[in-house]
Amino acid sequence: MDLTVRLAAGGICAALLAQLVRRHNAEIALCLTIAGCAALLAAALGLAGGVGEVLARARELSGLGSALLAPVMKCAAIGIVCRIGADACRDAGSATLGSALELAGAIAALWTALPLLSALLDTVDALLRA
């Protein structure tokens, strides 16, 4: 909870600073916004270790291989990165580029999830043949 409050406060401060600077220099404001995003993401990565531990435990308890759990984490990461990138594009005044980035992210996430779909189809095939 403490980290969440600090991250929220940092995000609000970066947004306010960017808004103040935007009146005089939009390019520097955009750079400040991107730097604020990078700082917040770097701070939030500390939480990723705990998520990794829980996923490792889930893999051990379920008997699933990492080949099935890794795409889930990759899809989440793709979604986060593309969302932040698309919002940065919109802040820079290019909504079309932001939408294109979101579309590319969705396609990349689907491509990343193909091993899950393949495993599901193999399971269904094995059940139908049994």
Domain membership flag for residue 54 = no
Same domain, 41 and 69: no
Do 88 and 34 belong together in one domain? Answer: no
Q: Within this chain, do residues 120 and 69 fall inside the same structural domain, yes or no?
A: yes
Q: For residue 39, tell me if it sits in a domain.
A: yes
Per-residue pLDDT, 92: 82
What pLDDT, on the 0 to 100 scale, is given for residue 23? Answer: 87
- All residue ranges of the chain with pLDDT < 70 are 1
Residues 82 and 114 in one domain: yes
Q: What is the pLDDT of residue 96?
A: 92
Q: Do 32 and 82 belong together in one domain?
A: no
**Total number of domains constituting the chain:** 2
* pTM of the model as a whole: 0.72
* Tokens linked to 25: 């220099």
Residues 69 and 113 in one domain: yes
- For 78, the domain range is 64-130
Are residue 68 and residue 44 in the same domain, yes or no?
Answer: no
Residue 59 lies in a domain: no
pLDDT score at 1: 66
